[in-house]
Amino acid sequence: MGYDLIIRDATIVTVDDDYTVLEGQDLAIQGNRIAAIGPTGTLGDAAQILDGRDQILLPGLVNTHTHVGMSYFKATAAAMELFKWLEWGWFYIERMDDDDIAWAAMLACMEMIRAGVTTFSDMYFSEKVIAKAVAQTGLRACLSESIMEPAGGMEMKSTVASQLAYARDFFEAWHGGADGRIQVMLAPHSPYACSADVLTRIAALADDLGARLHIHLSETEAEVAEAYEKWSMSPPAYLESLGLLSQPMTAAHCVHLSDADIALLDRPTFGVSHNPASNLKLQSGIAPVHKMVDREMAVGLGSDGNGSNDVIDILKDVYLATILHAWQEEQQPTRTCLAMATREGARALGLDDQIGRLVVGMKADMILVSVDKARTVPVHHPHDTLALTCHGSDVTTTIVDGKILMQDGQFLTFDAEEVLAQARERSARIFGAPSPVTEL
Ligand SMILES: [Zn+2]
């Protein structure tokens, strides 16, 4: 019977190292891998054929930083500064139980599949229930249990000791889980929300387990100023002084970095998650992304949680990254930012040997994007069209590990109506009482 699946006659945006674009080609999938790419009609037969005409076939989008447990927080607050927002939101976070988080994760997974995200990197609480949502929906994910101590006005139900024990247990139970689609990381929330002792204990645990670290880093000017006050050095220098940068790490935000910080972080094991929409909404600033890209550092894109971005639509973040930075023309911003959402995002998570490019042998994570509407016609060049005109809603089909999760906008792995109903009911209860923090 030939291949399992062939996508026929699409424009293939490979995002390989040469940014090759192939017109009128077929791509064949066998099991969970890309088995062949060739001119339309030359690859033989398959059990299932998808029509790729008038569509772009693109590597699945990689969302390098989010908090899926916060999907009920979309459109709850207008622009506000990070620390105030955290204080305000903490009240609602503490009102959520594991079932609330499980359905919040399903809602976020549904939103991501709809918008063409095939891999996401999450940091939240109760990651064991989030892992079940990943297993059910069919997505690929890097999951990390947030480890933090009370900061500011927060009070916390759990202790650091219990969080560390949970993180180890979670790693042992789920690393390589869901048929290899789940990678477990360790997540010290940030240099400011963990003591030096806790940071070094997490680094030791990461070393012991061979786990990658996921952290928030240099997100705001206030965070950097506080670091100089407390430790007389920048947050990256502080992490280096504690030995954390010796571990493979993905750091979200990296907005306020000096040139010395960038040089310190420029190492093959370090990945950056650039979150342009979140940084704008929380008035954190604009990350020096063009400088990091110039050094060929691994910079991916992240949505951050729905609370600080409202929607998870990585194509929107591609657009923002394309127009936000002081790019030089030779940096080719549209294709560079598209790579940040695919190949470079994979590299920022340490997954670039598996995903991020449409090349024979890679895992079969890909999306079809329709470009036959007024907003997208004419297509002068697919890279420009994708970066500057496309939205997540233009994605028609989402495939992860060779399996179709969404076809023509229909979800194939779960009951979408139930996810929406649960989200409406549970969020009404959680947000039914006002946060005591009203000064925004
Ligand atoms: Zn975050």
Cα-to-centroid distance, 305 and ligand 1 (Å):
6
Q: What is the mean pLDDT of residues 206-219?
A: 98
Cα-to-centroid distance, 326 and ligand 1 (Å):
24
Phi, psi of 344 (to 5 degrees): -75, -30
Q: How many CA atoms lie within 13 A of 237 on its CB side?
A: 14
Parallel/antiparallel/unpaired status of strands 46-51 and 298-301? unpaired
More confident residue, 435 or 203: 203
Q: Are 398 and 369 in contact (CB under 8 A)?
A: no
Cα-to-centroid distance, 308 and ligand 1 (Å):
8
Q: Are 250 and 64 in contact (CB under 8 A)?
A: yes
More confident residue, 240 or 158: 240
Please report the pLDDT score of residue 396 as a whole number: 98
Cα-to-centroid distance, 235 and ligand 1 (Å):
16
Please report the pLDDT score of residue 438 as a whole number: 67
The continuous run of DSSP H or E covering 213 comes out as: strand 213-217
pLDDT reading at 333 higher than 80: yes
Secondary structure of residue 28 in the 3-state scheme = strand
Band (85; pLDDT cuts 50, 70, 90): confident
Please report the pLDDT score of residue 79 as a whole number: 61
More confident residue, 231 or 435: 231
Whole-number Å distance between alpha carbons of 194 and 209: 20
pTM recorded for the entire structure: 0.97
Average pLDDT of every residue of the chain: 95
Q: What percent of the chain has a predicted confidence (pLDDT) above 90?
A: 88
Q: What is the mean pLDDT of residues 209-215?
A: 98
CA dist 263 → 221, 266, 275, 293, 339 (Å): 19, 5, 20, 12, 22
pLDDT tens by residue, 8-45: 999 999 999 999 999 999 999 999 999 999 999 999 99
Q: Are 216 and 239 in contact (CB under 8 A)?
A: no
Please report the pLDDT score of residue 437 as a whole number: 75
Cα-to-centroid distance, 273 and ligand 1 (Å):
10
pLDDT tens by residue, 241-266: 999 999 999 999 999 999 999 999 99
Cα-to-centroid distance, 54 and ligand 1 (Å):
36
Q: What percent of the chain has a predicted confidence (pLDDT) above 70?
A: 97
pLDDT reading at 426 higher than 60: yes
pLDDT reading at 440 higher than 60: no
Cα-to-centroid distance, 327 and ligand 1 (Å):
25
Cα-to-centroid distance, 61 and ligand 1 (Å):
18
Cα-to-centroid distance, 216 and ligand 1 (Å):
6
Please report the pLDDT score of residue 153 as a whole number: 58
Cα-to-centroid distance, 28 and ligand 1 (Å):
36
Please report the pLDDT score of residue 51 as a whole number: 97
Cα-to-centroid distance, 22 and ligand 1 (Å):
36
Q: Are 252 and 273 in contact (CB under 8 A)?
A: yes
pLDDT reading at 80 higher than 80: no
Cα-to-centroid distance, 295 and ligand 1 (Å):
24
pLDDT reading at 151 higher than 80: no
Cα-to-centroid distance, 160 and ligand 1 (Å):
19
Please report the pLDDT score of residue 439 as a whole number: 58
pLDDT tens by residue, 120-130: 999 999 999 99
Cα-to-centroid distance, 303 and ligand 1 (Å):
9
pLDDT tens by residue, 391-407: 999 999 999 999 999 99
pLDDT reading at 321 higher than 80: yes
Cα-to-centroid distance, 202 and ligand 1 (Å):
18
Q: What is the mean pLDDT of residues 141-147?
A: 97
pLDDT reading at 59 higher than 90: yes
